[in-house]
Structure 1
Amino acid sequence: MSAARILIIDDNLINRKKLRLAVRSLGYDAETAEDGAAGLNALKTGPFDAILLDILMPGMDGFEVLKRLKSDAVLRDLPVIVVSDLEGDTKSVSAAIEMGAEDFLPKSFDPVILNARLKACLRKKQFRDRELEYFRRINALTNAAERVETGLFDEESLNLAAEARNNDPIGRLAMVFQGMANEIHTREVKLLRRIQTLQCSILLLICGGLAGLYPSLSRLAAGFGANPIGMSFWVGLFAAGICTVLVLFRGGLPKLSRSDVLFFIVWAFVVGILQQISIFVLSGHVQATYLTLVLALEGLLVFAFAALMRLEDIVPMRILGLLVGLVGVGISLSERMNGNSADANFWLLASFVAPVFFAFETIAVAAKRPEHIDPVGAVGIMFAFSTILAFALALGTGNIIAPEKLLSPLGATLAALAFVTVGTNVTFFILLKLGGGVFTSQKAYVTALAGVLWGIVLLGETMSSLAWGAIALVLLGMYLVGAKTSNEPITIKRNFGVQANDTQT
């Protein structure tokens, strides 16, 4: 155990040396300061256990030093022994003790008296230090209990690991409390992850169900003689208008940085131009049920892209899932191509470009989406840019659909496509934020089934038994690929919210 450190503050050089020699002869470390200001500066250099303080000094006297010590939260409990001439300084000693000094020492002191006074002060300091440490430990337990009560805690935030290592009553209590809190945290994390999964699953059903409707509505619009580029313009314009009304109703348009604008332009080009136009073109040549099945490849492609980018773990089960899904699509494709004309087969093969755009969108938006813009605003901005791009393309190619043609079933179909587009993209954006890219790509499960059902209901299309078997293989493949498991910590909240980093991109 190291010796106690004593600070001697005295303006008289002889008195300082005399006190330092006496203190060191008693086995303590001694440091000196020639006045009050120097003494306060010395206290900043390291911890001291007691102070021997002269009262009458030029400049900053002992009273001012005492006043500053007692007003300092760190130094207020440091014991002070005032050094004074008892014959002519009794009032000063009395005043100093009233200000918080522990004891006094005459300038003509006896070493035995010095030893007794120092021991008494140091013993009192030890008791005070133990008391403060006790209160600190009790306060740590109290704070941990409050965190557990309010629910804003995880295992590390309780800060009880150090306390639990102490083999005393408080340490044992901390160990028991930490164990109970960790058990509560583990149980509630499991519950909240189930709730989070349920939320994502509901959004997945909505997003996939709406996405499955898109090929059937596109085929209906194509049947009315609309050209794909003109359709892309009007659907984008309607979608941007819907989102703008919703955003203005909710409080105003968001502000965009230069990087945000670049992101939305790229997103608009991929979704509003490449993705939409490819679907509109393909819908005019490929049966909606089979086009939906091809679009189901999105989930498998997202995993493949994420694996190549090392965003996902490559394990045998997931590789098997990727292969099973590809076999399912291959069976469906070969069954559909058997007996078809060369032209029909060309369009069936061309349909494989569409899921590439969907997969690219999922990966890109998951990685680069602007967090400060809400989903409705983000989708609205994207379609505003896509409308501008589609208008320029339609104007340049002479494929503008005249407004008067919208006063027909074509207009109703395009409006329905716009609502479906907004719903799909908004839920897609929310789902990305909650579940991550790979989990969101699993909407292809629902899209495949919903697309087949919408095709049967709206278009009267049929599927062979072999095609149904192929769909089952695709779904099995996506199940084997699965979503990435989150290992990120969750902070518990009593209102069953979940605070976690984005974990499945």
Structure 2
Amino acid sequence: MNGSSQHLSGRVLVVDDQKTNRMKMEFAVQNLGFAVESVAGGIECLDALREQSFDILLLDIVMPGMDGFEVLRTIKADPTLRDIPVIVISSLEEMEDSVRAIELGAEDFLTKPFNPVLLKARLGAGIERKRLRDKELEYLQQVDRLAAASGVIERKDFDPSRLDLSDIAKRDDQLGNLTRVFLGMASEVYRREQNLRNQISLLKGGFLLLLLGACWGLVPSLSRIIMVDGLHPLGAVFWTLWISAGMMLAVTVITGRYPGTSWPEIRRYLLLGLFGNALSQVFLLWAASEVSAMIISIILAAESFMVFIIAASFGFEAPSLKRFIGLCLGLACVVIIMVPGNATGVVGGWVWMLIALFVPFCYAIEDIIVAAIPDDECDSIALATGTIIAAALLMTPLTLLSGSFIPPAFAFAEYGWAFFLIAAISTFSTILLIYTIRTTGAVFASQAGYAMTAAGIFWSVLLLGESMSVWVWAALACLVSGLALVMPKQVEEAAEIKPGERIFET
């Protein structure tokens, strides 16, 4: 195959078994300003048409092997080639062959010897017809795409980015105008649909936080009740974790959702069990022996700020000034309650306050780990079961070796109700926390610390008779203000993208 690489007003493929004829035709076509390539037979012609793009074909009829008729019949039977115009080349003695070729689908014919002016006219007319046909096909394809997009709309999917009509919308004709109107209406419906979903997400997220906070907020008061009698925190945590593990095993058997047994999953259970259950409960019970339940409840609000810093640092959630201000207000409530020398006199020593701060820190680590788990590996019940069992196993040798084991007879006779209640709350809250994190994001889910604070204050007043000071009221005001500035992840992400802003991008 030989030819020119220059592309002028069209690309021409010459097919002739005679070398002299090919050279004459190439020279004539090049002089007329067209790019040209040539081949010596029918098979080579078909290969060239399938490998490259040509605007027109000059085809000799009489050739050895695969003649021009077979080539023409094959081209017109191939959907990818049939729109390429074919001009047959024949001598005056072969007029019947030219007629037959035209009946098979050839666009025109050219007699030998050919006139350069006639050759240019035939080539120009053939190429122009092809380009008009290409435009017509493109138009019809775009009409079909618009019709297909209407089918997507009928299925109640109004996302403009899924309609794939941005290139058609750039047309300056009636089809382009129709497409723009169509996309505009779809964008408006999509915007309203997203707003409704965002409102539902906010309500759902708020409900989950309130439910989680109301349940877990009871734990500081229960911890205070059992720790004022001098129980060892390791022994108490040992029993609450094993009771909780028993409950989760029952749930797992009933639902058939068992934890995984691969090493990555076991390692995940150990990390979550260590921070989310074992250490957090040890620090909570330890602090509860010296710090009031109300103060512990308020310190739990620091979880939100810790999660935000960790999540933003590792890129799990995008930094947001609005969230940062809201979370700072939450941190301010902790600072207010820990201000040294305040008039309430209920704040214990700084050492105990720092111990209490380890509780929200452990919760924050738990939130981040859960948020980082791939969706297809995060079954809430299976994960909660594996986590709690891992925590109980981790606590067993530590409890026995430290000599802090509480005999079952004493444990259940005096504190059985509290252990069972804490275990039940822990079981339910762990499942609910995992679901909330996967639904609303780690930062928003950490706002459960705010709900825990409010519920914890309520339970401490109801069960322990603790009083609320001016400092506590000020801390609560910071909590409410901070919570109002933090939205679930899906809502905030949707608010950052204006509906339809990517519709007309290529």
Same fold (TM over 0.5): yes
Q: Which residue of 2 aligns with 1:18?
A: 24
| CA positional deviation for 1:346 | 5.5
Contact 2:304 2:327 in 1 (8 A): no
Q: Which residue of 2 aligns with 1:379?
A: 384
Q: 1:464 aligns with which of 447, 450, 468?
A: 468
Task: With the length of structure 1 as denominator, give the TM-score of the two structures.
Answer: 0.83
Choose 26-35 or 167-176, whichever is displaced more.
Answer: 26-35
Task: With the length of structure 2 as denominator, give the TM-score of the two structures.
Answer: 0.83
For residues 463-482 of structure 1, what are the alpha-carbon distances to aligned partners after superposition, in whole Å with 9 as ceiling and x for unaligned? 13425414423414533763
Choose 246-255 or 425-434, whichever is displaced more.
Answer: 246-255
Q: Which residue of 2 aligns with 1:8?
A: 14
Cα distance change of structure 1 residues 96 and 214 upon mapping to structure 2, 3 Å threshold: farther
Cα distance change of structure 1 residues 247 and 59 upon mapping to structure 2, 3 Å threshold: farther
For residues 427-464 of structure 1, what are the alpha-carbon distances to aligned partners after superposition, in whole Å with 9 as ceiling and x for unaligned? 2112212222221121122111111222333x242213
For residues 83-121 of structure 1, what are the alpha-carbon distances to aligned partners after superposition, in whole Å with 9 as ceiling and x for unaligned? 34564683x656644543334444444556545544443
Q: Which residue of 1 aligns with 2:195?
A: 190
Q: Which residue of 2 aligns with 1:312?
A: 319
Q: What residue identity is the alignment partner of 2:289? A: G
Q: 2:432 aligns with which of 424, 427, 445?
A: 427
Q: Which residue of 2 aligns with 1:411?
A: 416
Q: What residue identity is the alignment partner of 2:87? A: I
| CA positional deviation for 1:216 | 2.4
**Which structure 2 residues correspond to residues 32-431 of structure 1 after superposition, within 5 A?**
32-44=38-50, 46-85=52-91, 87=93, 90=96, 96-97=101-102, 99-111=104-116, 114-115=119-120, 117-222=122-227, 227-255=232-260, 257-306=262-311, 312-314=319-321, 317-318=325-326, 321=329, 324-330=332-338, 334-337=342-345, 347=352, 350-367=355-372, 371-404=376-409, 408=413, 410-431=415-436
| CA positional deviation for 1:354 | 2.0
Q: Which residue of 1 aligns with 2:482?
A: 478
1-side partners of 2:69 and 2:257: how far apart? 62
Look up the SS of the partner of 1:231 in the other structure. Answer: helix
| CA positional deviation for 1:201 | 1.1
Cα distance change of structure 1 residues 353 and 126 upon mapping to structure 2, 3 Å threshold: closer
| CA positional deviation for 1:208 | 1.1
Q: What residue identity is the alignment partner of 1:321? A: L
Choose 387-396 or 314-323, whichever is displaced more.
Answer: 314-323
Q: 1:437 aligns with which of 435, 442, 452?
A: 442
Look up the SS of the partner of 1:352 in the other structure. Answer: helix
Contact 2:72 2:106 in 1 (8 A): yes
For residues 220-271 of structure 1, what are the alpha-carbon distances to aligned partners after superposition, in whole Å with 9 as ceiling and x for unaligned? 4446775422332333233333334434444443545543333322221112
User: Once superposed, what is the RMSD of the aligned Cα atoms?
Assistant: 3.5
2-side partners of 1:11 and 1:123: how far apart? 27
Q: What residue identity is the alignment partner of 1:469? A: W
For residues 349-399 of structure 1, what are the alpha-carbon distances to aligned partners after superposition, in whole Å with 9 as ceiling and x for unaligned? 532332222233323433456652211111111112111111121222233
Cα distance change of structure 1 residues 280 and 168 upon mapping to structure 2, 3 Å threshold: same
Choose 225-234 or 74-83, whichever is displaced more.
Answer: 225-234
Gaps of 5+ in 2: 1-6, 499-506
For residues 187-220 of structure 1, what are the alpha-carbon distances to aligned partners after superposition, in whole Å with 9 as ceiling and x for unaligned? 2222211111111111111111111022223334
Choose 402-411 or 206-215, whichever is displaced more.
Answer: 402-411
Cα distance change of structure 1 residues 103 and 423 upon mapping to structure 2, 3 Å threshold: same
| CA positional deviation for 1:8 | 0.8
For residues 43-81 of structure 1, what are the alpha-carbon distances to aligned partners after superposition, in whole Å with 9 as ceiling and x for unaligned? 355421111122343344434433543454332211122
| CA positional deviation for 1:22 | 3.8
How many corresponding residue pairs? 487
Gaps of 5+ in 1: 493-505
2-side partners of 1:145 and 1:88: how far apart? 53
Q: What residue identity is the alignment partner of 1:235? A: T
Q: What residue identity is the alignment partner of 1:161? A: S
Look up the SS of the partner of 1:167 in the other structure. Answer: coil
2-side partners of 1:83 and 1:246: how far apart? 83
2-side partners of 1:98 and 1:428: how far apart? 75
Look up the SS of the partner of 2:37 in the other structure. Answer: strand
| CA positional deviation for 1:421 | 1.0
1-side partners of 2:192 and 2:423: how far apart? 43
2-side partners of 1:327 and 1:230: how far apart? 31
| CA positional deviation for 1:420 | 1.0
Q: What residue identity is the alignment partner of 2:132? A: F
For residues 12-58 of structure 1, what are the alpha-carbon distances to aligned partners after superposition, in whole Å with 9 as ceiling and x for unaligned? 11221233344345443322111223223333554211111223433
2-side partners of 1:491 and 1:41: how far apart? 49
Contact 2:230 2:289 in 1 (8 A): no
Q: What residue identity is the alignment partner of 1:9? A: V
Look up the SS of the partner of 2:24 in the other structure. Answer: helix
2-side partners of 1:489 and 1:476: how far apart? 22
1-side partners of 2:144 and 2:54: how far apart? 25
Contact 1:328 1:472 in 2 (8 A): no
